[in-house]
Amino acid sequence: MLRNKKILLGVTGGIAVYKACDLTSKLTQQGADVRVMMTKGATKFVSPLTFQALSRNDVYIDTFDEKDPNKIAHIDLADWADIAIIAPATANIISKISYGIADDMLTTTLLATRADIYIAPAMNVHMYEHPAVIENMQKLADWGYHFIEPGAGYLACGYVGKGRLEEPQSIITAITNHLENRKRLAGKKVLISAGPTREIIDPVRFFSNRSTGKMGFALAEVAARFGAEVTLVTGPVHLETKQETIKRINVVTAEEMYQAMWDHFEEADIVIKSAAVADYRPKITYDEKMKKQPGNLIIEMERTKDILQSLGERKTTQFIVGFAAETSNIFEYGKGKLQKKHLDAIVINNVAEKGAGFGVDTNIVTYLNKQLKKEELPLATKDAIAEQIIHFIERDMKDEIK
C-alpha cells in the first residue's frame, strides 16, 4: 500500500524521537519515498544526519534554509506529499496545529499541505489527559486529521499510563488500514436518513422527539470515508457534515423526508434509515398562532407515511437497514420490525440505557440481520459503532452474493 507513496514525516521534540528513526527505516523498506522534517527540539534528541542516512534524502529543519533557489521548500514539500505523518507528536505541536500557528518549517508546511495527515501523539499521561490537549485533538479530528492512539505502559518520565508513542509497525498498519478502508465502498451509493422530524401545529409550535442525528451523521461520515457516494437526508439538527463529498438534503416534516428518500431510493445500493420519524402529525394545522383558550386542548392526530415499510415492500436490489429505538423487550420488538418491514438488517438499542440513545456521543446497540444473526456492540463512540455497522452490512451483502 505504501510503495511509491510520497511521505512527509514530521518529527517533534520528545524522547520518542528514537522510534521515528525506526519508522523512517520501515517506511523506506516498504518502498515509500520519505522526506523528514524536524523541529529544533527534535534535533536535541537525534541528529538530522541519522534521518538523512535512513531516508536517503535531505532533512528539513529551517524555513529559511532553501536548498533549491528555484523552489520555496515548505510549499514544494506541502504539494509533493501524498501523506504526512507527525511522529512523535507532542502536546505543543498538536496545540499549534489546532490554532493555525505557523512559526517553524513543520507547522508552516502542515498548514499548506492538502495531504492526509496522521498524528501519533507521545507525551506524559497527565498531559495526554489534560482538557486542553483533548480539546485540541478533538478539533483536529473534526477537521479530518487522523489520530493513531498512543500505547499504555511505562513512560520515559517514570509514570505508567497512556502516552507512549505507538510502535512504528503499528503506525504503518494503521495507515495502510485507513488507505484500504477508502476502497471498501467504492462505487456504492449509500442513502441515509438521520435526525428527528417536526410536525407543525402552528407557526410557533410543533411536535418532535429527542433525536439529535448523531448516529446517522456518524454512519454517513464512515460510509464516505470508505469511498461511498453518500446522500444524507436529515431532519432539523445542529450538526455539520464534515466530509465535503456527502450530499446533504435538509427536510423538516415526515412527508418531506418520505419524498426525499424516495427521490434517491432507486439508485441506492445501501439504505440506512436511522432517522426518528414522527408516527403521527396534527390532522389540522393553523396558519396563525393558536391562542390560549379556557380548559383543555385536544389535538387530533393522523398517521404519517411509514417510510421504512414502504421502502422495504418495494425494494429490488437495495440492502435496507432500519433502526429500532426501544425501552423494553428490545429484541422482540426489533425482530418484529425487521420481519414486518422486509428489512435486510436492523440496529436495535435501548434508549433508556445509560450511554445509549439520543443526545449522547456513545451508543450500545444490537445488529440483527434477516438470518437472525445477532451482533452485540457494547458501549462505544457512535463513530466506532458506525464503523462496525458498516462492516456488518458489507459482510451480509457479500454473503447474499454467495
Q: List the one residue out of 213, 244, 250, 248 whose CA is nearest residue 232.
A: 248
Q: Which of 57, 84, 167 is nearest to 122 (CA)?
A: 167
Distances (CA, A) of 96 to 105, 294, 392: 12, 61, 38
| Known binding-site positions | 279, 289, 323, 337, 341
**Span 340-344, average pLDDT:** 96
Q: Which one, of 206, 195, 275, 190, lies nearest residue 239 by Cα?
A: 195
Tell me which residues are annotated as active site: 157
pLDDT by residue (tens digit) across 159-213?
666 778 999 999 999 999 888 888 889 999 999 999 999 999 999 999 999 999 9
Instruction: Over range 76-103, report the average pLDDT.
Output: 96
pLDDT at site 25 = 97
Residue 401 has pLDDT above 70, yes or no: no
pLDDT confidence of residue 157: 67
DSSP letter string, 262-306: HHHHTT-SEEEE--B--SEEESS--SSPPPP-SS-----EEEPP-
Indicate the annotated binding residues for CTP: 279, 289, 323, 337, 341
| Res 313: pLDDT | 95
Q: What is the mean pLDDT of residues 253-263?
A: 98
Q: Domains in the chain, start-ordered, CATH in brackets?
A: 6-181 (3.40.50.1950), 189-280+297-401 (3.40.50.10300)
What is the bridge-based pairing of β-strands 151-154 and 374-381? unpaired
**How many whole angstroms separate alpha carbon 249 and alpha carbon 233?**
5
